[in-house]
């Protein structure tokens, strides 16, 4: 049965926001669906970004779905920049287009890039098991897990335990090593390399592995290898600091009231220490656009290793992820993307493999961890990638 194009796109993009669902089949060659003609914005004379559709996508903010949106579309086909909404719901001053935000799982592409750099240098062998580098981390219940399986979400590790009510504990520190220990205690879900399930845990272990083989902190390796060379001055790892340093727009989340109604709460300040190499990064759209252009242009990871990001595991049915990036077919375009979300903020980086079209957005979503894709984010993605 053919999946409606709107539902297909939403299903593909929401995957990176939930952090637990199995990868859907829609991104492989047999199941990908083009955007339905009646859903497409009216084409413009050039092949560049559809400015009209993009303006429509972000107008009317704040609304029930989002309080602000920051968008950058680029590439040789043309560029488009836009922002809308408010900095906060108290002063209602205009949203800062250069504001920083919690990048969520787009962090994973930075982690993958560091790991692939180490592979290019010979420090990491993607075919070697995790147990070779970190003996004692996993129990005897686990078969050897190749490093590559951490990168492409086929490790078989289950999710670790966290706080039952994350909002109530948002200023407390949860150690990511404790999260990994709880995941290991649950045993394997499947043998490595036979199933693909999108989860944070593999990238948490990958961050620990980077620290092990370099003898350095993950945050410093990311800064030294990527942020500093690319002059990503808005990008950093806050650790246990719940604040967002520098200019930023406030994030809000819908919460249920005791009477059954809902209210918006300010969730800007939140300790994300447990997300570590899987989702603790703070950045800006300008920085992520710079990173995306450099990554797809072969300036961050050498080409032989970069191919890992665009290679789906051959023996895994319905795989949609390579090393971090997810494949999606949007009309005539094959797009590689990564979504990310933390409460109050939902984001995406995306590009064609040749970099002809790039997209970076950050939406101050009021349902950033919901099961469905945020409506504003979906409109932006459809307008930019059609």
Helix (H, G, I), strand (E, B) or coil at 334: strand
**Packed helices 375-385 and 5-18: angle between N→C axes, nearest 10 degrees:** 120
Ramachandran region of residue 136, left (φ > 0), alpha (ψ -120 to 50) or beta? left
Copy the structure tokens of residue 312: 């789906």
Q: Is 105 a catalytic residue?
A: yes
Phi, psi for residue 336 in degrees, rounded to 5:
-110, 130
Bridge partners (DSSP) listed for residue 362: 70, 347
Nearest C-alpha neighbor of 362 from the set 267, 251, 218, 199: 251
**Options 105, 149, 284, 386, the catalytic residue:** 105
Cβ contact 67:220 at 8 Å: no
| 298 Cβ neighbours under 8 A, 6+ residues apart | 306
Cα–Cα distance list, 264 to 29, 66, 69, 254 (Å): 41, 11, 17, 5
Catalytically annotated residues: 105
């Amino acid at each position: 049965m053919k999946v409606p194009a709107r539902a297909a796109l939403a299903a593909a993009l929401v995957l990176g926001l939930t952090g637990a669902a199995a990868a859907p089949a829609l991104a492989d060659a047999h199941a990908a669906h083009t955007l339905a003609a009646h859903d497409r914005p009216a084409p413009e004379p050039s092949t560049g970004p559809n400015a009209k559709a993009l303006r429509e996508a972000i107008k009317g903010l704040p609304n029930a779905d989002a309080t602000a949106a920051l968008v950058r579309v680029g590439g040789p086909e043309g560029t488009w920049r836009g922002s809308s909404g408010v900095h906060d719901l108290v002063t209602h001053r205009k949203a800062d287009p250069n504001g920083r935000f919690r990048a969520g799982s787009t962090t994973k592409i930075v982690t993958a890039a560091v790991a692939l750099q180490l592979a290019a240098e010979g420090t990491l062998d993607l075919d070697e098991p995790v147990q070779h580098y970190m003996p004692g981390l996993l129990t005897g219940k686990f078969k050897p897990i190749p490093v590559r399986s951490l990168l492409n979400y086929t490790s078989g590790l289950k999710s670790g335990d966290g706080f039952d009510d994350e909002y109530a504990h948002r200023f407390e520190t949860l150690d990511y090593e404790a999260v990994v220990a709880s995941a290991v205690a649950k045993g394997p879900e499947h043998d490595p390399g036979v199933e693909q399930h999108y989860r944070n845990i593999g990238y948490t272990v990958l961050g620990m592995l980077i620290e092990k083989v370099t003898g350095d902190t993950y945050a410093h390796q990311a800064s030294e290898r990527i942020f500093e060379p690319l002059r990503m001055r808005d990008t950093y790892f806050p650790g246990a600091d719940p604040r967002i340093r520098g200019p930023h727009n406030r994030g809000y989340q819908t919460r249920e009231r005791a009477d059954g109604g809902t209210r918006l709460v300010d969730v800007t300040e939140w300790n994300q220490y447990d997300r570590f190499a899987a989702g603790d990064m703070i950045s800006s759209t300008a920085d992520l656009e710079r990173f995306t252009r450099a990554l797809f242009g072969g300036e961050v990871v050498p080409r032989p290793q970069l191919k890992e990001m665009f290679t789906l595991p051959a023996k895994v049915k319905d795989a949609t992820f390579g090393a971090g990036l997810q494949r999606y077919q949007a009309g005539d375009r094959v797009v590689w993307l990564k979504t990310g979300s933390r409460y109050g903020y939902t984001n995406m980086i995306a590009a064609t493999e040749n970099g002809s079209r790039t997209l970076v957005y950050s939406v101050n979503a009021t349902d950033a961890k919901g099961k469905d894709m945020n409506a504003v984010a979906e409109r932006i993605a459809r307008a930019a990638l059609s």
